[in-house]
Amino acid sequence: MGWINIVIQGMLVGGLYALFATGLSLIFGVMRLVNIAHGDLIIGAAYLAYTVIQLTGLHPLASLVVVVPAAAAFGYGLQLGILNRTLDKDILPPLLVTFGLSVIIQNALLEIYSADSRKLNAGSLEIGSFSLVPGIDIGYFPLLTFLSAIAVVWALQVLLFHSPAGRAFRAVSDDPEVSQLMGCDNRRVYAWAMALSMAVVAMAGVFLAVRANFDPFMGPSRLIFGFEAVIIGGLGNLWGTLAGGIILGVAQAVGAQIDPGWQVLAGHLVFLVILAVRPQGLFPRGVT
């Protein structure tokens, strides 16, 4: 029973990793943009939620009503104002610009909030749990995180494959020259994709901040987890990204059981093995 419990707890944490990764996967799928600042944006969203809660006293989950639209609007502006200018056949400019953005966000957060770590308090939700069977206790909050990740991926899948906006995303992803000849304004399509990505980033930030302490320098390691989940699942497939997040979570949980110092290492090792054996990921393609 002990190992089953570990795997289940790992899966629940994997839901959070999937939330880290989904936005990354979406914008890579739509515009081949690798966003190095993704992790810092997650932490930025956590701080935004922190400020909103300080000002209004809202519950962290209620703060999503403010943080999600704010992050989406920021993403839309970021894409139109800056990132669109970097998109071309050369993949280096977006990498450099988002790397610069990462440094700027970290230092801005440090300047505004100091290096002290913070946490969002979700009250009884945080510590409550129920017993599935004797020996396996499921925390309400980890379960909520996990279900949110599934809901987010499902909603994005429906959007991509059953809505006009989704068809525009797929058309632009497939052939940006032809899509504009079909009347799609690529720059705006990219901006909407980034807005969606940032909406998911906001959720990831708030869930992360309720689950653990955060500080201005936590972004890059969240980015790594996100990347690993995307690559494990296969580029351009959101369900794959969800699976990748879960696999990473389970690997870490099992690693931690073997030796507490092995938690993060075990995740990286599983990633490395999958990259070596199946470089295209477990479930490649989907959003093309």
Partner 1 sequence: MGYAAHGIITMLLLDSLSKRYGALVVTDSFSFEVAQGEFVGILGPNGAGKTTLFNLIAGTVKPDTGTITFQSRDITREGAAARCRSGISRSFQIPHPFVGMTVFENVLVGATFGRKAEGSVDYAMQALELSGLSKKANQLAGSLPLLGRKRLELARALATEPRLLLLDEIAGGLTESECHELLDVLRQVHASGVTIVWIEHVVRALLSVAQRLVVVNFGKKIADGAPDKVMDSSEVKSVYLGEDALV
Positions that interact with partner 1 (CB under 8 A)? 164, 167-168, 170-171, 174-175, 177-186, 285, 288
In this structure, are residues 184 and 165 in contact, taking their beta carbons and an 8 Å threshold? no
Cβ closest to partner 1, residue 32 vs residue 170: 170
Tokens 């990793």 label which residue?
17
Cβ closest to partner 1, residue 168 vs residue 204: 168
In this structure, are residues 23 and 201 in contact, taking their beta carbons and an 8 Å threshold? yes
Cβ closest to partner 1, residue 189 vs residue 203: 189
Q: Count CA within 13 A, CB hemisphere, residue 268.
A: 9
Q: How far apart are CA 149 and CA 282, in angstroms?
A: 19
Q: Please, what is the minimum distance in Å from the beta carbon of residue 140 to partner 1?
A: 39
Cβ closest to partner 1, residue 185 vs residue 259: 185
Question: To 5 degrees, how large is the angle CA 23–CA 28–CA 33?
Answer: 110
Q: How far apart are CA 72 and CA 77, in angstroms?
A: 9
Q: Please, what is the minimum distance in Å from the beta carbon of residue 192 to partner 1?
A: 12
Is 225 strand, coil or helix?
helix
Cβ closest to partner 1, residue 85 vs residue 269: 85
Q: Please, what is the minimum distance in Å from the beta carbon of residue 245 to partner 1?
A: 24
Q: Please, what is the minimum distance in Å from the beta carbon of residue 230 to partner 1?
A: 18
Which residues neighbour 265 within 8 Å (Cβ) at sequence distance 6 or greater?
255
Q: Please, what is the minimum distance in Å from the beta carbon of residue 237 to partner 1?
A: 12
Q: Please, what is the minimum distance in Å from the beta carbon of residue 283 to partner 1?
A: 15
Q: How far apart are CA 59 and CA 137, in angstroms?
A: 24
Tokens 């970097």 label which residue?
86
Question: H or E stretch including 139?
Answer: strand 136-139
Cβ closest to partner 1, residue 29 vs residue 44: 29
